[in-house]
Amino acid sequence: MLKVFFYALTFCGIHVYIYDCFSRIFHCSCTLISHTSKHKLRNKKMENKFDSEKVIQEFECLTKDAKRVQTETLKTILKENCEAEYLKKWHLDGRFDPQTYSCCVPVVTHKDLDPYIQKIADGASYPVLTGKPITTITLSSGTTQGKPKFVPYNDELTETTMQIYRTSFAFRNRAFPIGNGKALSFIFGSKQFTTKGGLLAGTATTNVYRSAQFKKTMKAMNTPCCSPDEVIFSPDFHQSLYCHLLCGLIFHEEIQIISSTFAHSIVHSFRTFELVWEELCSDIRTGVLSARITVQSIRTAMAKVLTPNPELADKIYNKCLGLTEWNGLIQELFPNCKYIYAIMTGSMEPYLKKLRVYAGRVRLLSADYGASEGWIGANINPDLPPEMTSYTVLPNIGYFEFLPLTNVDEMDSVDPKPVGLTDVQLGEEYEVVVTNFAGLYRYRLGDVVKVIGFHNATPKLQFVCRRNLMLTINIDKNTEKDLQLSVEAAAKLLAAEKLEVVDFTSHVDLTNDPGHYVVFWEVSGDASDEILKKCCNCLDTSFVDAGYVSSRKVNAIAPLELRVLRRGTFQKILDHYVELGSALNQFKTPRYVGPSNPKVLQILCNNVVKCYISSSFG
Ligand code: AMP
């Protein structure tokens, strides 16, 4: 009997698996080495010295051969995990090809896998979803669903995270090279807790920040975080944020990049700066940390970086005084900052306006596309403005399928049929279906993306919206994007009073028949009733979906209601999510709050200061 040996072959960074009985011949030199150790070895090399051109070369090889790389990636995942309870149930019987996989294994949602994830969290002693035991659980931010979801996490996800970071950095560095310096990174460790079965649970970003690879990779990229670990992993994110700002000012000349996971936290951080800048200056002047910092570990760590520096305090103070409405704050305070880097697409787009005010001439670059469930694509065109960013899928970091959105019946059918990574069509919209290295198989991510081009054989995806975020009462269907456009249109009216929408969300009120849309706004100051009334009408008429417009005309949907919130309401919502285990840098304001999210709905309803009912449509 032929004994089959299993090797992983490194070929331009591609995982190619061979069975030794029929070793294939490749046209370039190769090294035999296992899959995981290959990843680790490459990460190790890159941790020490970053070679952008080499990373780009590897990326080119991978993307040219996307179809085969996908097949091999799937084979690796299934082979590594075929003894797991979940995969055994689908009788793959040693067949690891895409056809067998899609015939035998169903497309699922988190709800379907939740019982298995729960077993892992409860400490199951046998392989449930993966061959190797899962030791960490990730809490997805859960901002859209109302409560965090458990997702399995393992070292492979850290490795793929580093691969994504390196890939987009290589392209960024080609376009906007940076020298030695530091990053002002608004990153925060979430609360961590232990599950019933003894597994550590926290946000995905916390798992990454705690990993040794993260620090080394950031150092190799010349972007180590300017704040000490005690600040990042503090139990109180308000105190962390204050100290991040303070460290940023202390190292202001060395700061080359200002970053976070999502753009929201950068805007939130500089809004906080507006409130505490004088206190920050005073700390720098005296070398004594504000009494608001009560966590001893932070005080001890900050004592090492904070020394009295009246000259610097004066410089910052005068720069702040010289600014009009905080325009160009970042450009002024961080003269060597090359760019601001965070996810800026999707639900982050509404923060770009404010971010541009703070940034001045400093460029905004959108970060990559991923989720707690794994990374998907990298931004390899950093020269494009954030609104035009697309994400090029890395074919070896997971196995990706795409559910066509054009066929809604298909999406809602019990057995939907997604297409493969290299079979997607230009211009079409799809929901992303992920198979990852940490026990998710054909998992619907809930994100809608549009194929806007290809890089070699792999698609470039534009993020469209979350699929389940839908304002709907009868035949109307308005997505997160439609809401955003409507809010953008109405917010223009506020600009006349030099005011802005700080944040917003929505709700469908069905307490009376017919039901109506409710839009909640937090506004930066006191707007007149007259303007807010106009804003309310504008919101109503800016939903251009035919189902909505026709329903409004015949009053099958009642007039839209604008509820203005007390200042600080969205801060309360953020605090609520952080309490549940989210982290500031991973926070996304829920753009729709339904009955499944009663606590947030209660925070909103308890903080309404004014209501307006639309008089559009007669
Ligand atoms: P989390 O639940 O915190 O893991 O957040 C993951 C979700 O954030 C994804 O499923 C997307 O909906 C959203 N997201 C992640 N990256 C991007 C991006 N580059 N553009 C837009 N939305 C994104």
Q: pLDDT, tens digit, for every residue of 466-492?
A: 887 779 999 898 998 899 999 999 999
- Tokens 């105190």 correspond to 239
Q: How confident is the model at residue 218 (pLDDT cuts 50, 70, 90)?
A: confident
Question: Ligand 1 pocket, 141 CB below 6 A?
Answer: yes
Question: Ligand 1 pocket, 552 CB below 6 A?
Answer: no
pLDDT at 12 over 80: no
Q: 345 with 386: CB under 8 angstroms?
A: yes
Kindly give, in sequence order, each residue whose CB lies less than 8 Å from that of residue 591, ignoring residues fewer than 6 positions away: 347, 466, 469, 480, 483, 484, 504, 505, 506
Closest residue by CA, ligand 1 atom 7: 371
Q: How confident is the model at residue 40 (pLDDT cuts 50, 70, 90)?
A: low
Per-residue pLDDT, 257: 97
**Rg of the chain taking only CA atoms, in angstroms:** 25
Alpha-carbon distances, residue 232 vs 91, 140, 196, 470 (angstroms)? 45, 19, 26, 35
Output the CA 586–ligand 1 centroid distance in Å: 9
pLDDT at 26 over 60: no
Per-residue pLDDT, 192: 83
Question: Ligand 1 pocket, 371 CB below 6 A?
Answer: yes
Q: How confident is the model at residue 408 (pLDDT cuts 50, 70, 90)?
A: low
The percent of residues above 70 in pLDDT, for the chain, comes to: 90
Q: Which atom of ligand 1 is nearest to the CA of 586?
A: 3
Beta strands in 277-349 (DSSP E): 339-343
Q: How confident is the model at residue 444 (pLDDT cuts 50, 70, 90)?
A: very high
Per-residue pLDDT, 306: 98
Q: What is the mean pLDDT of residues 233-252?
A: 96
Per-residue pLDDT, 18: 28
- Smallest Cα–Cα separation from 208: which of 164, 239, 167? 164
Q: How confident is the model at residue 346 (pLDDT cuts 50, 70, 90)?
A: very high
Kindly give, in sequence order, each residue whose CB lies less than 8 Å from that of residue 234, ignoring residues fewer than 6 positions away: 188, 189, 240, 243, 295, 297, 298
pLDDT at 296 over 60: yes
Output the CA 274–ligand 1 centroid distance in Å: 28
Output the CA 168–ligand 1 centroid distance in Å: 16
Q: Which atom of ligand 1 is nearest to the CA of 376?
A: 16
Question: Ligand 1 pocket, 586 CB below 6 A?
Answer: yes
Output the CA 369–ligand 1 centroid distance in Å: 6
pLDDT at 128 over 50: yes
Closest residue by CA, ligand 1 atom 6: 371
Total length of the chain:
618
pLDDT at 500 over 60: yes
Lowest mean pLDDT among 145-149, 259-263, 399-403, 557-561: 145-149
Ramachandran category for residue 451: left, alpha or beta (phi over 0 → left; psi -120 to 50 → alpha): beta
Pocket test for ligand 1, best of 352, 461, 466, 588 (most atoms within 8 A of CB): 588
Q: What type of residue is 181? A: G
Output the CA 368–ligand 1 centroid distance in Å: 9
- Smallest Cα–Cα separation from 247: which of 307, 322, 170, 179? 307
**CA–CA gap between residue 113 and residue 412 (Å, rounded):** 18
**Do the bridges between strand 339-343 and strand 255-262 make them parallel or antiparallel, or are there none, so unpaired?**
parallel
Question: Ligand 1 pocket, 343 CB below 6 A?
Answer: yes
Question: Ligand 1 pocket, 372 CB below 6 A?
Answer: yes
pLDDT at 29 over 80: no
pLDDT at 9 over 70: no
Q: How confident is the model at residue 524 (pLDDT cuts 50, 70, 90)?
A: very high
Pocket test for ligand 1, best of 139, 144, 345, 591 (most atoms within 8 A of CB): 345
Q: Read off the pTM.
A: 0.88
Q: 8 with 38: CB under 8 angstroms?
A: yes
Pocket test for ligand 1, best of 205, 447, 480 (most atoms within 8 A of CB): 447
pLDDT at 563 over 70: yes
**Element of type H or E holding 150:** strand 150-153
> How buried is 202 (Cβ within 10 angstroms: 0-12 exposed, 13-18 middle, 19+ buried)?
buried
Question: Ligand 1 pocket, 447 CB below 6 A?
Answer: yes
Lowest mean pLDDT among 28-37, 181-190, 376-385: 28-37
Return mean pLDDT, the chain: 89
**CA–CA gap between residue 173 and residue 456 (Å, rounded):** 21
Q: What is the mean pLDDT of residues 540-560?
A: 94
